Amino acid sequence: MTDQLESETLVAVVTGASAGLGLAIVSRFARSGYYVVMVGRGRSRLETARESLEDKIQSSVLIHACDVTTSSDVEELFREVEARYGRLDVLVNCVGESDRGLLQNLNPERMRQLFEVNVFSALHCTQAALPLLEQTGGVVLNVGSLASKVGARFIGGYAVAKHALAGLTQQFRLELLSRGVHVCLLSPGPIKREDAGSRYSSHLTSELPEQARRPGGGTRVKGLSPDQIASVALTMVQKRQPDRVLPSYLRLLISIGHFWPRLGDWLLLKFTSEAASK
């Protein structure tokens, strides 16, 4: 049965929504008046996350447990969105996972997992959401990383997968422009969180320096708050911006690397210079 939406109410689906940046994006969109469908694999994790939101927005947030790397789950997700709301205005592909390690030791199976979670998830969701997004002239926002724009040492297959997501985003944007659907990429640096220094401990091996456990594999960029990134995500959707890097000044470093690759590499090594000392 279709929920009774007020005619102007916009609907957003946010994947990877039960924790971290995804949860901050849910909160930001719901506070600005969207109905939001939160997607994650663990139902109880989603329920706990929903309860952590301000009381006044909880009634406009729906949870849907599914694995977005599985195409049948994804098709079911958008069937439910259509049945329940009859429309979709925004898809935020926030599911993603980083890595630690050296490319010379990267196991192809691990690379496949990283592609599943960082790339195929966005591909499946965008394809399945497209018929609904075309009806509203909607927006797809993909969450990349600085690793979508530059390589860095010690982050295993993460930059490879996030660069693929950047390519997917631009190609979709060009392909869907004439169909009225806008596709954009938000590439934030390391996010401030309590477990920032410990979450990749299980991937660390003896050939990696201590700094590899730090956010971004030792990148010397100040952590961003999830709320700050979520506000930029909302602005990108509202203004149909194509591509943002956070912090914004790093776009200069990225551009320098495009014009002068040697200088770009030198600057990147400077940004991880403590890690370089091992």
Ligand X SMILES: NC(=O)c1ccc[n+]([C@@H]2O[C@H](COP(=O)([O-])OP(=O)(O)OC[C@H]3O[C@@H](n4cnc5c(N)ncnc54)[C@H](OP(=O)(O)O)[C@@H]3O)[C@@H](O)[C@H]2O)c1
Residues serving a catalytic function are 158
The smaller minimum CB distance to ligand X, of residues 27 and 98, is found at: 98
Q: Residue 64: enclosing H or E segment and its boundaries?
A: strand 61-65
Smallest separation, CB 260 to ligand X (Å): 25
Among 74, 96, 153, 181, binds ligand X (CB under 6 A): 96
| Ramachandran class of 101: left when φ > 0, alpha when ψ lies in -120 to 50, beta otherwise | left
Closest CA to 265 of 151, 156, 164: 151
Smallest separation, CB 154 to ligand X (Å): 14
Residues 12-31 that bind ligand X (CB under 6 A): 15-22
Contact string (CB under 6 A) for ligand X, positions 235-264, x = contact: ------------------------------
Contact string (CB under 6 A) for ligand X, positions 36-75, x = contact: ---xxxx--x---------------------xxx------
Whole-angstrom distance, CA of residue 163 vs CA of residue 161: 5
- The edge-to-edge listing of strands for the beta sheet with 139-143 is 61-65, 35-40, 11-15, 90-93, 139-143, 182-188, 243-246
Smallest separation, CB 32 to ligand X (Å): 20
Q: Does 218 bind ligand X (CB under 6 A)?
A: no
Smallest separation, CB 78 to ligand X (Å): 14
Q: Does 84 bind ligand X (CB under 6 A)?
A: no
Residues 126-145 that bind ligand X (CB under 6 A): 143, 145
Q: Does 219 bind ligand X (CB under 6 A)?
A: no
Q: Write the CA distances from 249 to 40, 73, 252, integer angstroms.
A: 32, 39, 6
Among 37, 95, 185, 212, binds ligand X (CB under 6 A): 95
Whole-angstrom distance, CA of residue 167 vs CA of residue 172: 8
Q: Residue 239: enclosing H or E segment and its boundaries?
A: helix 226-239
Q: Does 191 bind ligand X (CB under 6 A)?
A: yes
**At which residue do the structure tokens 């700050």 appear?**
228
Torsion sign (Cα): 76, 80, 86, 90: negative
Among 10, 12, 92, 94, binds ligand X (CB under 6 A): 94
Give how far the C-alpha of residue 164 lies from the chain's centroid of Cα atoms, to the nearest Å.
Answer: 13
Torsion sign (Cα): 145, 170, 77, 179: positive
Among 157, 188, 218, 257, binds ligand X (CB under 6 A): 188
Give residues in contact with ligand X (CB under 6 A): 15-22, 39-42, 45, 67-69, 94-96, 98, 117, 143, 145, 188, 190-191, 215
